[in-house]
Amino acid sequence: MFLIIDDDLAVRTSLKLLLKQAGYPAQAVATPTEALAVVREAPPRLVLMDMNFSLATTGADGLALLRQVKQLAPQVPVILITGWGSISLAVEGMKAGAAEFVTKPWHNDALLQTIGTVLSLYEAAPADADTPAASRRQLDKQYRFTDIIGQDAQLLQVLRNVGQVAATDASVLIEGDSGTGKELIAEAIHRNSQRRNQPFVKVNLGGISSSLFESEMFGHRRGAFTDAKADRVGRFELANGGTIFLDEIGELELASQVKLLRVLQDRTYEVLGDSKTRRLDIRVIAATNRNLAEMVAQGRFREDLFYRINLITVRLPALRERPADIPLLTQHFVDQLRATYQRPALKVSTQALHWLREQPLPGNIRELKNLVERAVLVSGKDELGPEDFQANAQRLPVRAPAPGELPTPGTMTLDELEAQMIRQSLAHYDGNISRVAKALGLSRGALYRRFEKHGIPYEQ
Ligand SMILES: Nc1ncnc2c1ncn2[C@@H]1O[C@H](COP(=O)(O)OP(=O)(O)OP(=O)(O)O)[C@@H](O)[C@H]1O
Ligand SMILES: [Mg+2]
């Protein structure tokens, strides 16, 4: 049984009808006293409560009621209904334990979707704390985590959470240092969701200035502003029906944050130059390498937006927190390179794996991947030892070479310099021959001849 708390008879009646049609029997009450009596007698499956349930109140009574409900029945999810103007109240409510909030006037579909999401989260089988961590293999039987390597307990916990929430429509915030695999996790959530055959659209919010935000995200009609020479489809429209991945959300300027909040809140938007309101059916995944809670405290990130996107938070461990995964990841990258460069004999020595395990790797998995790639390309050997990685590890702080700086005369021949430049360019362009040739001002043929001359391995 659901419990509806609202002092407005019309609201009670329409909500009750909506829920009944959706297959959720509900009971509706008008006052906190009645509500508490119901909760005490038999905790409802879900509570839907209006925060401003009496015109005479400021919402403080709503908050007090919420706290009492959570005290009596902490396991019962509570969805708050607030006016658009009182989102700060909703945020207070989230802190006090509410599961979600919707703003008035609500859209029936969106409300039902929210209810479905909240129920699936609250009623998902809880992970059994007593059993030992389910092995990676067990997880792989349930979900598709193909490209995600690792068996560290923290990572497995992340994957377990990801698997559980993927099927819901809940917004997920992925936190983690740079290079920890945030994008990979975002893709995994989409791939394991009902929306897997719908679009997955990635947007780097750090790259969108506030003056272009609306046109980028919502699209524009030709002539909507001076530079609008043609119609443009916005990212939200591209992602409609699927998932939008809001990367680097911590970089978003405050002026854009409010616009984003609006659309995430109402699931409606307008294309610039077109007054028709469009509805969105979208799953939101956001990622950041910043500490958003801290940014909220400093007033640099809107608190209401924070609560809108972090229904579920996934924190990716830094690589140094999971050193046991370093050898596994290294092997994985070497396997990939063996196939890419068609070098069946390529492998890493055990000593090298031990050495890598001890490295700080502040750039995390991306740094490890680049390091392995550089070592393979530059050493040209079939079995890589610690020295091959040492030679290519970027020691911090890296001194930027002065422009035009060359090795001291007498330390290197022209041939050696040429070979070194080619190797560096290969590493820089991830082995992309066309780009290396272009950067060096050579034809591909001339570049291949130099590979032969210097004995540099390359991809056919
Ligand atoms: N668990 C993993 N197994 C295999 N490869 C991984 C794993 N995690 C990350 N990678 C690889 O490391 C690189 C960086 O990952 P990704 O782009 O997802 O990181 P990120 O957290 O989004 O980084 P940034 O904050 O710099 O954008 C990618 O090439 C990705 O494929
Ligand atoms: Mg990223």
Q: How far is the CA of 401 from the centre of ligand 1 (A)?
A: 28
Q: Are residues 108 and 20 in the same domain?
A: yes
Residue 448 lies in a domain: yes
Domain count, the chain: 4
CA atoms of 113 and 98, how far apart (whole Å) = 17
Q: Are residues 339 and 210 in the same domain?
A: no
Matching residue, tokens 């801290």: 294
Residue 128 lies in a domain: no
Q: How far is the CA of 316 from the centre of ligand 2 (A)?
A: 12
In tens, the pLDDT along 258-269 reads 999 999 988 999
180, 204, 334, 335: residue to mutate for ligand 1 pocket, most atoms within 8 A of CB: 180
Ligand number nearest CA of 174 is 1
Last residue of a domain, one of 100, 123, 146: 123
Q: Are residues 300 and 164 in the same domain?
A: yes
Residue 131 lies in a domain: no
Alpha helices in 99-142 (DSSP H): 108-123, 136-142
Q: Are residues 343 and 392 in the same domain?
A: yes
Q: Are residues 302 and 209 in the same domain?
A: yes
Q: How far is the CA of 273 from the centre of ligand 1 (A)?
A: 38
Q: Are residues 6 and 60 in the same domain?
A: yes
Last residue of a domain, one of 260, 293, 317: 317
CA atoms of 156 and 144, how far apart (whole Å) = 13
183 Cβ inside 6 Å of ligand 1: yes
What is the CA 426 to chain-centroid distance, rounded?
31
Q: How far is the CA of 249 from the centre of ligand 2 (A)?
A: 11
Residue 129 lies in a domain: no
Residue 287 lies in a domain: yes
Residue 130 lies in a domain: no
- Give the containing element (helix H, strand E) for 384: strand 383-384
CATH of the domain at 212: 3.40.50.300
Q: Are residues 187 and 298 in the same domain?
A: yes
CA atoms of 140 and 136, how far apart (whole Å) = 6
Mean pLDDT score across all residues of the chain: 87
CATH of the domain at 450: 1.10.10.60
Cα Rg, the chain, nearest whole Å: 28
CATH of the domain at 360: 1.10.8.60
In tens, the pLDDT along 378-411 reads 888 999 999 999 887 765 433 444 556 777 776 7
Which two structure tokens, joined as six digits, stand for 253? 């300027």
144, 146, 147, 183: residue to mutate for ligand 1 pocket, most atoms within 8 A of CB: 183
Q: Are residues 80 and 161 in the same domain?
A: no
CA atoms of 79 and 111, how far apart (whole Å) = 10
- What is the residue with the minimal CA distance to atom 13 of ligand 1? 366
- DSSP SS3 for 268: strand
Render 300-339 in DSSP notation, one character per residue: SS-HHHHHHH-SEEEEPPPGGG-TTHHHHHHHHHHHHHHH
CA atoms of 227 and 223, how far apart (whole Å) = 7
Q: Are residues 15 and 30 in the same domain?
A: yes
Last residue of a domain, one of 70, 88, 123: 123
Domain boundaries, position 440: 403-460
Print pLDDT tens along the chain (460 aa): 999 999 889 889 999 999 999 999 999 999 999 999 999 999 999 999 988 755 555 677 888 999 999 999 988 999 998 876 677 787 888 888 888 888 888 888 888 988 988 888 777 655 544 333 346 878 888 899 988 998 888 898 899 889 989 988 899 999 999 999 999 999 999 999 999 999 999 999 988 888 899 999 999 999 988 888 899 999 999 999 999 999 999 999 999 999 999 999 889 999 999 999 999 999 999 999 999 999 999 999 999 999 999 989 999 999 999 988 898 899 999 999 999 999 999 999 988 998 898 888 989 999 999 999 999 988 889 999 999 998 877 654 334 445 567 777 767 778 888 888 898 888 888 888 888 888 898 888 888 888 888 878 776 5
CATH of the domain at 7: 3.40.50.2300
Q: Are residues 231 and 309 in the same domain?
A: yes
Identify whether the C-beta of residue 420 lies closer than 8 Å to the C-beta of residue 406: no
Looking from the CA of 188 toward its CB, the CA atoms found within 13 Å total: 25
> Distance of CA 78 to CAs 10, 30, 94, 213, 357, Å?
21, 16, 9, 34, 46
Q: Are residues 334 and 425 in the same domain?
A: no
How many of the other CB atoms lie within 10 Å of CB of 91? 22
Identify whether the C-beta of residue 121 lies closer than 8 Å to the C-beta of residue 140: no
Q: Are residues 191 and 252 in the same domain?
A: yes
Say which amino acid occupies 338.
R
